[in-house]
Amino acid sequence: MKELTDVKERIFVCAIVRVLAAWLAQETSAMRTQVHALLPYILTVANDTFYAHRNTKLAEKANLGAKADEGSSSGEHDSLSDIDILRLLLPALCHLAVEEDARKILLKQK
């Protein structure tokens, strides 16, 4: 799969993965081979959004005292850092972790 550089494309992909994660949490047996084919990419997106969200929260926490001293918060807000796909994917990952093929894919990913 190609690397997404456009922010709008990345947000769109995150929205699709969110819907897919909700479906995977409810549906445990449909389209398993297709889900297993997409799982590495989904996990990559989840990993990227998790670290972006975590880094934003850590930066906000570190800058909290500095921003209070300045009196105003200046800087641009990255809407991609508000998305944490991994949290939404956790119920689906619970279902996938019990399957041998999906578990192999999960263990191969970072």
- List the one residue out of 16, 7, 78, 76 whose CA is nearest residue 46: 16
Residue 31 in any domain: the answer is yes
Examine residue 24 and state whether it is found in any structural domain, yes or no. yes
- As for how many domains the chain has, the answer is 1
Is residue 15 in a domain?
A: yes
- 54-73 pLDDT, tens per residue? 888 888 888 875 665 555 45
* SS percent in the chain: helix, strand, coil, step 5: 75, 0, 25
Nearest residue to 79 (alpha-carbon basis) of 7, 4, 6: 7
The reply to whether 73 falls in a domain is no
Average pLDDT over residues 50-57: 89
User: pLDDT tens digits, residue range 27-36?
Assistant: 888 899 999 9
**Chain segment 11-20, per-residue pLDDT in tens:** 899 999 999 9
Domain limits for position 26: 7-63+84-108
Is residue 26 situated within a structural domain?
yes
* Calpha distance 106→99 (Å, rounded): 10
- Residue 52, in any domain of the structure: yes
Residue 25 lies in a domain: yes
Query: What pLDDT does 63 receive?
Result: 85
Report the amino acid identity of residue 87: R
